[in-house]
Amino acid sequence: MLGKRDRKYWRKKALEATKLQQWETLFSYGQKMIELDPNDFDGWATKGDAQYNLGNFKLALKFYRHSLKINKHDILSWQNLGHTFKNLEKYKEAIKCYNIALDLNPLDGYHNNGKLRDSLIECEKNLKQV
């Protein structure tokens, strides 16, 4: 049984909050994960997800970058960092992040590569218009 001192407990709660779109609650669960282990990259990414969905893109960048300092191979953090840069209209940075995510995930384990490629194409078009 999972308890409050177990990171998996808070991860499960975070997934529930995500489904319910409870972004402030999601942020607090990410914080709990980090309190249990400051090097929990998923806790930092969870905080980034919450801030992204609250529209606080600059703060989301901070948390995704911290997550990637801990685990530079986290595909979801790379793609979410790309989405965040895209929302900030920083298309070059978004393209770099999307390409890293695609390079790390050539077999499409998350079934997201089609969406990533669409985002990549959109950023490239926007970059050409600037």
Record the pTM. 0.86
Give residue 122's pLDDT band: very low, low, confident or very high (50, 70, 90): confident
Do residues 66 and 13 share a domain? yes
Do residues 56 and 12 share a domain? yes
More confident residue, 33 or 2: 33
Asked if pLDDT for residue 127 goes beyond 90, the answer is no
Do residues 45 and 7 share a domain? yes
Do residues 78 and 48 share a domain? no
Final residue of a domain: which of 72, 88, 105? 72
Amino acid at 23: W
* Residue ranges making up the domain that contains 78: 73-125
Both tokens assigned to 124: 């490239």
Do residues 5 and 67 share a domain? yes
More confident residue, 119 or 95: 95
**What tens digit of pLDDT does each residue of 20-63 get?**
999 999 999 999 999 999 999 999 999 999 999 999 999 999 99
Final residue of a domain: which of 72, 101, 117? 72
Instruction: Please report whether residue 100 resides in a domain.
Output: yes
Scanning 54-90, the segments in alpha helix (DSSP H) are 57-70, 75-87
Provide, for the chain, the percentages of residues in helix, strand and coil under a 3-state DSSP scheme, each rounded to the nearest 5: 75, 0, 25
Question: Which domain CATH number covers 48?
Answer: 1.25.40.10
Instruction: Please report whether residue 21 resides in a domain.
Output: yes
Residue 39 DSSP label: T
Distances in Å between the Cα of 42 and the Cα atoms of 3, 38, 64 are: 18, 10, 9
Least confident span in 41-50, 73-82, 117-126 = 117-126
Do residues 58 and 102 share a domain? no
Instruction: Please report whether residue 39 resides in a domain.
Output: yes
Neighbouring residues of 26: CB distance < 8 A, sequence distance ≥ 6: 14, 17, 18, 46, 49, 50, 53
Structure confidence at residue 19 (pLDDT): 97
Instruction: Please report whether residue 62 resides in a domain.
Output: yes
d(CA 122, CA 74) in angstroms, rounded, equals 23
Asked if pLDDT for residue 125 goes beyond 70, the answer is yes
d(CA 106, CA 111) in angstroms, rounded, equals 10
Number of domains in the chain: 2
